[in-house]
Amino acid sequence: MIQTTFTDRGTMAELMARMLWEIGAVHFSADKPYKLSSGMMSPVYIDCRKLISYPRIRSTIMDFAAATVVRDAGFEMFDCVAGGETAGIPFAAFLAERLGLPMIYVRKAPKGHGRNAQIEGHMPEGSRVLVIEDLTTAGGSMFKFIDAIRAAGGTVDHGIALFFYGIFSEAEARFAEGKVQLHHIATWRNVLSVARAQNLFDENTLAEVEAFLDAPLAWSGRNGGVSELSL
């Protein structure tokens, strides 16, 4: 059920960043960048799915998520929690349990047979839905799920990403235009701060990561990736 201990935002962000490093969910590689599905080259990579395999860590992060949404949105603002196929589904289940709410999940597309459902579970007309994803870059995937919920008669005013890239200006505009308040716990800046504090990499790698966070598309272009991106 819901946690009522409200750790300050900075501490939550730092602790989540430390957890991500501890379980090997984040990676820095400036000399051999990662090529993302968008064609973008990046010196950073994250896999938040690993969180589900570490019970103590995932429990703590769900405490943080519950505290974040009730503090920023309110205690009685939601009728259910929705996760998007596939990464958001387990986190929706964990958070729904914390908040004492029903859970639904949203397919990327209608399943194409039977009831041709895109939303699984029970969502009454007009339900106020909190959408959760493990991470969001600029909101593109989250809004696919939000749009499906709205089309089915639900109301979505809030979403939470456990991890938010926080480096693309387009993200704020997208959430503002979509009339959704985005909540999050940690960003790449928090991950970089912990890496510096713990001396996890040489200064050149840390400087390259910071340069990427300051201007991701310019960094990508300089390193053989796309320099323009449709987010």
User: Is residue 230 situated within a structural domain?
Assistant: no
Q: Give the structural domain span for 215.
A: 9-109+116-221
User: Is residue 48 situated within a structural domain?
Assistant: yes
User: Is residue 3 situated within a structural domain?
Assistant: no
d(CA 196, CA 39): 28
Total domain count for the chain? 1
| pLDDT tens readout for residues 129-148 | 999 999 998 888 899 999 99
| pLDDT tens readout for residues 161-220 | 999 999 988 888 999 999 999 999 999 999 999 999 999 999 999 999 999 999 999 999
d(CA 85, CA 141): 10
Cβ atoms of residues 158 and 77 within 8 Å? yes
The sign of the torsion formed by the CA atoms of 126, 142, 86, 75 equals negative
Q: Supply the pLDDT for residue 121.
A: 95
Residue 3 confidence (pLDDT) above 90: no
**Percent of the chain surpassing pLDDT 90:** 82
Cα Dmax for the chain: 56
| pLDDT tens readout for residues 117-134 | 799 999 999 999 999 999
User: Is residue 34 situated within a structural domain?
Assistant: yes
Nearest Cα residue to 227 out of 25, 48, 11, 39: 39
User: Is residue 227 situated within a structural domain?
Assistant: no
**CATH code of the domain covering residue 147:** 3.40.50.2020
User: Is residue 4 situated within a structural domain?
Assistant: no
Look at the block and give the residue holding tokens 């503090």: 71
What kind and span of H or E run contains 184?
strand 181-187
User: Is residue 89 situated within a structural domain?
Assistant: yes
| pLDDT tens readout for residues 90-105 | 999 999 999 999 999 9
What kind and span of H or E run contains 115?
none
